[in-house]
Amino acid sequence: MNNFIINKSLVSALPLVAIIFTSATFSSISYANDITHSVRSDAEQAGSTENYFELGILYTQGSGPSFIGGRNTNSALNGYYSRYGLIINGSYSWNNLFVENYSESGHGLVFGYSAFNNDNWSFDLIATTEWLKQSSFENNGLFGYINNKDYGKKFTVGGRLIGYWGDNIVQFTVNQDATGDHNGTTVSAQIGRNWQVRNWNFHGIFGAEYASAKLNDYYVGVSEVRAAHLSNFFEGFTAYNAGASVSFSTELGVTYPISEDWVFRLTARAATIADELTDSPYYVTKDPVATSVRTSLSYVF
């Protein structure tokens, strides 16, 4: 039954995506990359029509609130984790359509339509496989599996407005779940800046993100039935309804071009994890702030 609803909702979202893509005009135009990429590469007013592909390896070490049954049980219990991963960055634009993937963004594969673009502003309609986890680098909780949620069918649609003022970039996004799983919504605002010190490119991003109660409750809410079931395994496991939340995040990083093909990055991030999330009995530790340090080496094709 649940699968039927998901599939039905996905089908209902497809016409919207189809409209976005088929309504593209055929003028030559560029679009603006996600702030997490633009601010790292000093795109500033350059924005980009950037067709490129980048592959690398990423190492992350961090700490934050831990989730029962997190992906790594040992680290989940004490809130610390370290992991290796792949960096797959790339973008391709064709007329006003684009597809992009930036591993540093915390989003999934983004399909978009560049609706407006001038020297200072850019507005894109976007559909993505994963957006509803701005703090995913720090908040391991959303990776938990004990909440019995299907993580394989994320799909959101929304809009992205990006503004450029010199070395500063602002980005506002609205994303709505299109799978029908929870109909959750996120609204985020981020401001970033790049500083070039010789060939080192430093950047800073500050952001705030609102997540709707539907979204939070889907991931960390506990129904009466589930609470009754899990209380057999975990002491004091009670039902929980999560409310809407606002979290803040900040990051500082540096990007260095080792050669024409190789890029080194180092990023430190901190994000608040709202009480609306950590009050859930799914959380073992309830640190209000999660931190991470990521370093990567990637090859740009």
Partner 1 sequence: MTLIQQNRNTQVNIVSRINTTVFSLIIFGFMPVSVNAETEKIHISPSNSSQLAQLKVTPKPCVALRKGQKCYLEVTFKWQHPILNDYCLVNSTTNKIMKCWQRKSKGNYSFDFQSKLSNDFALRKHESVTDLAQTTIPVAWVYKSSKRAKSTWRLF
Residue 164 or 219 with smaller CB distance to partner 1: 164
Residue 105 or 201 with smaller CB distance to partner 1: 201
Residues 59-98, one symbol each (x = binds partner 1 by CB under 8 A, - = not), give: -------------------------------------x--
Minimum distance from residue 85 beta carbon to partner 1 (Å): 21
Residue 3 or 198 with smaller CB distance to partner 1: 198
Of residues 94-153, those binding partner 1 (CB under 8 A):
96, 115-119, 122
**Binding test (CB under 8 A) with partner 1, winner from 41, 60, 66, 134:** 41
Strands 121-128 and 185-197: unpaired
Span of 3-11, 25-33, 220-228, 238-246 interacting with partner 1 by CB under 8 A: 25-33
Is 17 among the residues that bind partner 1 (CB under 8 A)? no
**Binding test (CB under 8 A) with partner 1, winner from 6, 10, 17, 30:** 30
Residue 115 or 268 with smaller CB distance to partner 1: 115
**Binding test (CB under 8 A) with partner 1, winner from 152, 198, 224, 225:** 198
**Binding test (CB under 8 A) with partner 1, winner from 27, 74, 166, 224:** 27
Is 52 among the residues that bind partner 1 (CB under 8 A)? yes
User: How many residues form the binding site for partner 1 (CB under 8 A)?
Assistant: 37
Contact criterion met (CB below 8 Å) for 68 and 146: yes
| Spatial distance between the Cα atoms of 137 and 49, rounded to a whole number of angstroms | 28
Residue 3 or 118 with smaller CB distance to partner 1: 118
Q: How is residue 3 written in tokens?
A: 């699968």
Span of 1-9, 43-51, 183-191, 268-276 interacting with partner 1 by CB under 8 A: 43-51
Is 176 among the residues that bind partner 1 (CB under 8 A)? no
Tally of CA atoms within 13 A in the half-sphere of 45 that contains its CB: 6
Binding site for partner 1 (CB under 8 A): 23, 25, 27-30, 32, 41-43, 45-50, 52, 96, 115-119, 122, 196, 198-199, 201, 255-261, 263, 300
